[in-house]
Each structure stands twice: as C-alpha cells, then as structure tokens.
C-alpha cells in the first residue's frame, strides 16, 4: 500500500522573512536577454569568517582542527594543547571593518583573552580589552579593521586547552543585491555559430553512418582497459543535428557526452544504441561501479534488439531522452554475483517499454514517464514519475513521491531553423510530474549572448565576459584558475558540455555566485587543486536571507572531486547560502582512488555540502568519502529527495576519527536548531577497508522534533567491512546485520 505521507510532499510552511525584495516577472521568448536590475545598496552587518582559512598556535589532535571553529557547525570545535598562551586566527581574505565577534566556548574556555586584528598576519592590534571568557556563547562588540582576526588567549580557565565550537567575526559591509561589475578591456567577441573546439564533433543526417561509427569507436577504443583513462584529459562530445540516423552503436566512455541538437528529443532519432556496459574498465572489468562521468541528453533511441543498456554509476546523467523500447540499467554480466552497478540519475525522460534496474544498488528517477519499472536492490527513489511503482520501502525498496516540489530542467544547446545555435532555459515548475516536453515552457537565448570558453582561458578573461554581461558556455577540457570566477548578475547562465573541469590554484575558490535571483549552473566538474581551498563553490552569502522562491538559483549535473589526476585538497566543496536554491543532481566525491595517490592525509576534505539557506531542495544528492560530516544542513525547511553516501574507506584508526558525539561522523547532519526538515530515500554505506575495526555511531544525525522527518533510510556494511552502529541517532540497529552478508538495516520512518 502506498502511504499518503510519502507519495506527495507536504505544502510549504509560510515564510517568515525580515525583508522581502520586490521582484518583477519579465516576459521571456525567443531572443530574450535576461536583464538584472540593481537595487539600492545598504549597509548591513554580515558574517565574514565562515568557511575562511583558519590557523591556530596548536591543536589537541587532528580531530579538533582550527577550521572546525569557522565551519558554521556548532557540533565541531577547535581545541588547543594544554598550555598557555594559545591563539586561533581567521583570514578574511581582504581588509574588513570588524564590528562584532561571537565566541562559542566549550567548557575549556579562556579566563583571559583579547581580540586582535592584523593587516599581514604578523603585526597585531588589540580591538578588545583583556576579557574573561565563559562556557557557552559570548558576544563582544568591537571596533577595528584588518584582514586577519584572532582570539589571543593568555590564561586558561581549566587544566585543559582552549576550546571553541565557533569563532564568528562580523563586520559592516555594503552589499548590493545585484552588484554591477565594470568591464575591463575591449569587448570579447561572440557568435551565433561559435567554434566549440576540437573535442566536439557535430553530425547531420547526411553524414555517413560509417563516419559516425568510426568517430565514436575511436574515442571509446582509446579508453578500452586503459590504466589512465579514468582520470585522463580526454574529452569527447558527439552532437547530432535534427533528423534520423542509421545504425549507430555508440559505446560511451569517460568524459563523453552524446546529445541531440533539436528543441525536442524526438527531433533526433538514433537507430542502434547509446551503450554503457561493464568489461572495459581497467582493473575492474567485472563491474560497472566505476562507470562515472558520461552523459546522454536530448535525443531518442530506437534500440537494436529492443533494449538500450545504460549501466552507469555516479555522475552519469540521462536527461531529456526518449527510449523507444526497453531500458536496462545493469551490465550484461550482472548474474552469478558479478556485474555490480552503483547508482545513477534519470530525469525528464520517457521510456516506452520496461526499465530494468537489475544490479543497481540505488537509483533516482525524476519527472519522467515509464511503462513499468522492474527491480531494486537497496534504494530506488521516484518523484514525479508516471508509471513508477508504488511506495513499498523496504520490500521492495521503492520510495515514491507523486510529484517533485520544485523543478527547473537543465539548460540545453540546440540549433534553430536558421542554423544558429541557442541555449534553451526551461521554466520553473511546481509539483511537477512527467517529462517537460514537448512544448517545454522557458526562454531561448542566442549564442551571441554567451562567451564560449575554451581550455587555456584565464579566470580574468572569463570574469571579463561576465562583467560584459555575457553568459558562460564551457567547452570540453580543463581550466586552470588562479582567481575566482564571480557570477554577480541575476539570471546568468553558466553551463558546459563534455565535462569541462575547473581546477583552482593557490587555494582560491573556483566559482562564487552572488545572492541574486535565477542563476543557472550546470554541466561543470570541479577538481580541487594541490593547495587547500576553503570551498570550491559558494552560492549566496552567509547570513543573508533573501526570498528567491519566484526565481531560485539552480545547480544541475555539477560534480566535485577531491583527488583525481591531482592530489587535491578542499575543506568544503559546495556551500549554499542562498534561500530556495535547487540542487538537482550533484556528486561530491573525496576520491578513494585516482590518477594520483590518495589517502587519509593526502587528498583531505571535511565536508561535501553545507546548506545554510532556507527552503533549499536537493533532488539527487550523491556525497561520498569525506572526513567529517559529509552533509551539514543548517537551513530551515530543507528537503532532500534521494541521498547516496559511502563513508571514507581510509580511516586509519578510531582515534583519528572521533566526532563531537562519539565515534566517527554521520553522513547526513541536520543542525540541532533546525525545526523543519524532510528527507526521502537515503542510504549510507560503510567500507572501512584500511581498518575494518572502525565504527561510526550513526549514519544520520538529526534533532528529535516532529518537524524533522526522515523516510526510507538505510545503512549497509559493504562486505561486512566496518560498522555503522545505528541508522538514525540511536535507532535502527547495527550493520553488519547478523542476518547475513551485506544486508541493510532499514528505518521506514523517523520519528
């Protein structure tokens, strides 16, 4: 029986806002340029320290680093060694005017300390008198300026060290809702018929089938059982202009995209297959669990033999596709204990026949139509899917919601009747179900309003394009960034094809999105650089709550890696401060393997996602292997539909992994002060292969109140390697499950 509490999300609660910005709805049509209107700037006290680089005179152990005091999480802390004096400092990034400091002391506080500022981190000025601390929160009104701010403790109140849950620095800053950047240099050229670079092949119906087959075979065969392909620099995009194509069998490897260039999927028909299977990946030929970083979009397939195979795992979306037959998501060798596959994402698609999930451990399907769905291992989640199976978790493991609360489909490239290229931006939908096409509502933007970025472009050039008022279109390749890409204009579209990969250098943040309406970020991959970045991507500004419900920012098919071809480091990969943001399919991954060596002290990363915004929705959230809380949700009225997680494999021992509430860190942490939060369909798995004796006390950690609800959540010990003691808080029981190998623990509803 389908539970009425699960088939449809409850209505949103009324908002309580201090200030609500006046917004206008602009008509959109062919050739529309989105125009952002700046409002008056106003002075406001804002938090300056959260997520910024922090250092300390000492740490009690690796479990209590300086960064824990500025991570926005009151459950983690910095603690010093047991000696006087000690200090903790934060780098604000530039000189700021400081008005207030909030210290949240643990029981080990300072009986004498001062707050100091510095322009260079060397010469310090007191901006507070010598002050006595106290356990708990302490607020100091101060007056001064500096890039660096520190708590300088001279006397301890206890025999232990100095210990702060949070160290928050506030200042007065002018924050326009839509800053107007000033372009520098001559205007960058644009075109409605741009050159997409050598990694993009474009076919038309007149292209010989043998030519197409040769091109796709050459791209795939170069990766066949290659020891370097998984983290290589190769990028391939195959675009098909409207029309019907003869027999094409396209095997899809790493960093490969196959997409149609019609306004609707049925404008492009491929006879044959767009195929992903096992047997080709070096060192793991028997499984499909590493079939990452490939995609299929905006076309229809008449599958040879009646069934198309798409045996993928993370970061391999299928969007806006019409399968005129059956679809199988499992590899051809799935039987006899072989051929595992690890979970993927399907949206805005139609499958005329049966979808068979086979050996897929988990899968999320959104806003689509299928004739029937067969199968399920641990966690199959559906929202807005016509023809989806009824809610039955855990037997079978189907979690079904009749609609998706808010959706905006991913922007896509197409070619118009004049042979000009355009990007279509679908409109927002509420309580959606089924595919958005044909007749998709939205706006079409000509390519002349995009800067088409290519590998080798600098951050300065990309920011110049944004300052010029252009959108961004990233072509396939890798981009080294010595500065942050800053998106400050409302309704800016930043999209890419073929897994363009942004790599920050020198510890900078790769992408920062202002707290403005309607920014669309999609199709981008981030690799952490060798110098630690506090964050790889930020949306909005900490402490700022502007109502963006009518036109939220959306993040789609955006993937983060800490450790890949480089030994990357990042404290947090994605921080979302803007209210109402839509997170639609991300994979934040601290690598358990890579082209460069990986390990507990090598590719370091605390948290995959921090959500501080209210009313944020995540649909298809994949976060894996981080060293502390992997998801921290501080905002109210948040919703997640489908969550997939694996705990870090490489914890060396229990002493190195003690969290604020016992052994290890939960995968999904809802802050204690949150009063309203909902999660449907979440799984967390342990595989502590470096030290199987390691345990984590719980996979999901949430406040115990009626408004915080989890539905269909589970834990698994993969191969019975390592222990998760409970599913949610102290509920659900332990894995390994005594009933047998790799048997999950399930919690249908909490509380």
pLDDT-derived band at 537, boundaries 50, 70, 90: very high
**Which has the higher per-residue pLDDT, 618 or 37?**
618
pLDDT band of residue 181 (cuts 50, 70, 90) is low
For tokens 């292209």, the residue is 207
Cα distance between residue 518 and residue 540, in whole Å: 12
**Average pLDDT in the chain:** 91
pLDDT tens digit sequence for 634-655: 999 999 999 999 999 999 999 9
pLDDT score, position 347: 98
Residue 693, burial from CB neighbour count under 10 angstroms (0-12, 13-18, 19+)? exposed
Q: What is the pLDDT of residue 174?
A: 41
How far apart CA 398 and CA 378 sit, in angstroms, is 8
Model confidence at 345: pLDDT above 90? yes
Question: How many other CB atoms sit within 10 Å of the CB of residue 340?
Answer: 22
Residue 600 near residue 652, CB atoms below 8 Å: yes
- Give yes or no for residue 594 having a pLDDT over 60: yes
- At 72 the pLDDT is 78
Q: What is the pLDDT of residue 28?
A: 34
pLDDT band per the 50, 70, 90 thresholds, residue 122: confident
Residue 74 confidence (pLDDT) = 76
Q: What is the pLDDT of residues 198-222, one digit of tens each?
A: 999 999 999 999 999 999 999 999 9
Task: For residue range 269-310, list pLDDT tens digits in order.
Answer: 999 999 999 999 998 899 999 999 999 999 999 999 999 999
Q: What does the pLDDT read at residue 10?
A: 32
Q: Please, which residues have CB within 8 angstroms of residue 198's CB and are 6 or more apart in sequence?
A: none
Strand-pairing partners, residue 312, are none
pLDDT reading at 4 higher than 80: no
Give pLDDT tens digits for 382-432: 999 999 999 999 999 999 999 999 999 999 999 999 999 999 999 999 999
Task: Pull the structure tokens for residue 244.
Answer: 């019907």
Mean pLDDT along residues 338-363: 95
What pLDDT score was predicted for residue 18? 32
| pLDDT exceeds 60 at position 24 | no
pLDDT value for 76: 87
The yes-or-no verdict on residue 370 having pLDDT over 60 is yes
| pLDDT of 2 above 50 | no
Pick the more confident residue, 624 or 343.
Answer: 624
Q: Which two tokens stand for residue 414?
A: 């197409």
Token duo for residue 711: 């539905």
Does this model's pTM top 0.85? Answer: no
The answer on pLDDT for 183 being more than 80 is no
Residue 31 is predicted with a pLDDT of 34
Position 643 scores a pLDDT of 98
pLDDT tens, 314-334? Answer: 999 999 999 999 999 999 998
Distance CA 392, CA 683 (A): 16
**Three-class secondary structure of residue 448 per DSSP:** helix
Tell me which of 294-298, 310-314, 610-614, 735-739 is least confident. Answer: 735-739
pLDDT, tens digit, for every residue of 236-278? 999 999 999 999 999 999 999 999 999 999 999 999 999 999 9
Q: How confident is the model at residue 137 (pLDDT cuts 50, 70, 90)?
A: confident
Partnered with residue 152 across adjacent β-strands are 87, 114
* Stretch 683-708: mean pLDDT: 98
Percentage of residues in the chain with pLDDT exceeding 70?
92
Task: For tokens 């890696």, name the residue.
Answer: 561
- pLDDT in the model for residue 43: 40
Interval 660-689 mean pLDDT: 97
Distance CA 635, CA 665 (A): 19
Please give the pLDDT value at position 338: 74
State yes or no: pLDDT of 158 exceeds 90.
Answer: yes
Phi, then psi, of 344 in degrees rounded to 5: -150, -160
Q: What is the mean pLDDT of residues 537-565?
A: 96
The catalytic residues are: 646
């Amino acid at each position: 029986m389908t539970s009425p509490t699960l088939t449809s999300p409850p209505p949103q609660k009324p908002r309580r806002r201090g200030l609500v910005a006046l917004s206008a709805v602009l008509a959109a049509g062919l050739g529309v340029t989105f125009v952002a209107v700046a409002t008056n700037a106003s002075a406001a006290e804002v938090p300056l320290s959260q997520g910024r680089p922090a250092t300390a005179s000492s740490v009690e152990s690796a479990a209590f680093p300086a960064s824990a005091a500025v991570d926005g999480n009151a459950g983690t802390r910095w603690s010093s060694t047991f000696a006087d004096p000690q200090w903790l400092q934060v780098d604000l990034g530039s000189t700021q005017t400081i008005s207030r400091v909030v210290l949240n002391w643990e029981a080990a506080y300072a009986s004498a300390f001062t707050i100091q500022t510095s322009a260079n981190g060397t010469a310090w000025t007191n901006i507070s008198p010598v002050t006595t601390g106290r356990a708990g929160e302490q607020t100091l009104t101060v007056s001064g300026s500096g890039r660096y701010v520190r708590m300088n403790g001279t006397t301890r109140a206890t025999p232990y060290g100095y210990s702060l849950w949070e160290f928050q620095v506030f200042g007065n800053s002018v924050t326009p809702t839509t800053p107007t950047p000033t372009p520098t240099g001559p205007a960058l050229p644009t075109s409605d018929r741009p050159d997409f670079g050598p990694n993009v092949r474009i076919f038309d119906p007149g292209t010989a089938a043998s030519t197409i087959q040769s091109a796709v075979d050459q791209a795939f065969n170069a990766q066949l059982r290659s020891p370097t392909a998984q983290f290589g620099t190769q990028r391939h995009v195959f675009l098909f202009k409207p029309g019907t194509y003869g027999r094409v069998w396209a095997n899809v490897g790493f960093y490969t995209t196959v997409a149609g260039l019609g306004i609707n999927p049925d404008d492009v028909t491929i006879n044959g297959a767009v195929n992903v299977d096992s047997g080709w990946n070096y060192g793991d030929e028997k499984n499909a669990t590493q079939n990452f970083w490939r995609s299929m979009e905006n076309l229809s397939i008449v599958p040879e033999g009646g069934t198309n195979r798409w045996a993928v795992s993370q970061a391999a979306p299928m969007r806006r596709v019409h399968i005129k037959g059956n679809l199988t998501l499992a590899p051809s060798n799935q039987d006899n204990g072989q051929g595992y596959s690890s979970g993927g994402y399907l949206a805005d698609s139609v499958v005329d026949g049966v979808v068979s999930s086979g050996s897929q451990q988990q899968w999320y399907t959104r806003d689509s139509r299928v004739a029937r769905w067969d199968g399920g291992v641990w966690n199959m989640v559906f929202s807005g899917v016509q023809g989806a199976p009824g809610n039955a978790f855990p037997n079978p493991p189907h979690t079904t919601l009749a609609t998706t609360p808010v959706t905006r489909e991913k922007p896509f490239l197409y070619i118009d009747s004049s042979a000009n290229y355009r990007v279509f931006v679908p409109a927002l939908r509420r309580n959606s179900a089924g595919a958005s096409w044909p007749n998709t509502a939205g706006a079409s933007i000509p390519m002349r309003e995009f800067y088409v970025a290519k590998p080798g472009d600098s951050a300065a050039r990309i920011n110049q394009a944004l300052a010029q008022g252009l959108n961004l279109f990233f072509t396939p390749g890798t981009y080294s960034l010595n500065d942050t890409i800053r998106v400050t204009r409302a309704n800016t579209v930043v999209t890419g094809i073929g897994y363009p990969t942004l790599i920050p250098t020198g510890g900078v943040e790769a992408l920062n999105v202002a707290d403005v309406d309607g920014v669309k970020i999609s199709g981008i991959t981030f690799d952490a650089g060798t110098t630690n970045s506090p964050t790889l991507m930020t949306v909005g500004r900490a402490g700022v709550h502007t109502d963006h419900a009518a036109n939220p920012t959306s993040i789609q098919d955006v993937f983060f890696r800490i450790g890949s071809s480089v030994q990357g480091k990042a404290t947090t990969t994605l921080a979302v401060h803007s209210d109402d943001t839509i997170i639609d399919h991300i994979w934040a991954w601290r690598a358990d393997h890579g082209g460069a060596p990986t390990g507990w002290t090598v590719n370091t990363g605390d948290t995959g996602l921090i959500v501080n915004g209210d009313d944020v929705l995540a649909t298809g959230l994949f976060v894996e292997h981080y060293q502390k809380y992997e998801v921290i949700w501080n905002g109210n009225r948040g919703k997640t539909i489908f969550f997939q997680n694996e705990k870090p494999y490489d914890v060396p021992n229990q002493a190195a992994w003690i969290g604020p509430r016992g052994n290890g860190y939960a995968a999904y942490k809802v802050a204690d002060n949150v009063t309203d939060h909902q999660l449907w369909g979440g799984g967390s798995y342990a595989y502590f292969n470096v030290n199987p004796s390691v345990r984590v006390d719980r996979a999901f950690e949430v406040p115990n109140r009626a408004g915080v609800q989890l539905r269909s959540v589970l834990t698994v010990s993969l191969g019975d390697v390592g222990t998760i003691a409970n599913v949610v808080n102290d509920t659900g029981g332990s894995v390994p499950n005594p009933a047998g190998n790799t048997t999950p623990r399930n919690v249908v509803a909490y509380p």
